[in-house]
Amino acid sequence: MPWSTPFDEPIALRRSGQLVTLQQAADYIMKLPDKTQQEQRWQVAVEHLINAAETGGGWLMFARIAMLRALNGDGGES
């Protein structure tokens, strides 16, 4: 599944905008400070994004859920 694959529903960001594709979600994480990227919630999201890109299928849904959980966990958007 290509990184340009869209989520079933876009992920709305609190401040503005949305994440539509796997690539946009990965880019969002890469723009976070290194320390934030190393937090478990973001590591889980990265793992699920990679699984979705490599495997497809149900992983796309899991990647979306992992991103939502990371964005909303402990302080929300970083």
Take residue 42 and report the two structure tokens written for it. 């973001």
In whole angstroms, give the CA distance from residue 14 to residue 12: 7
- Asked whether the CA dihedral 17, 2, 48, 6 is positive or negative, the reply is positive
Confidence of residue 75 (pLDDT cuts 50, 70, 90): very low
Whether the predicted pLDDT of 48 surpasses 50: yes
Which among 29, 26, 35 is positioned nearest to 54, based on CA atoms? 26
Q: What is the pLDDT of residue 74?
A: 56
Task: Give pTM, 2 decimals.
Answer: 0.87
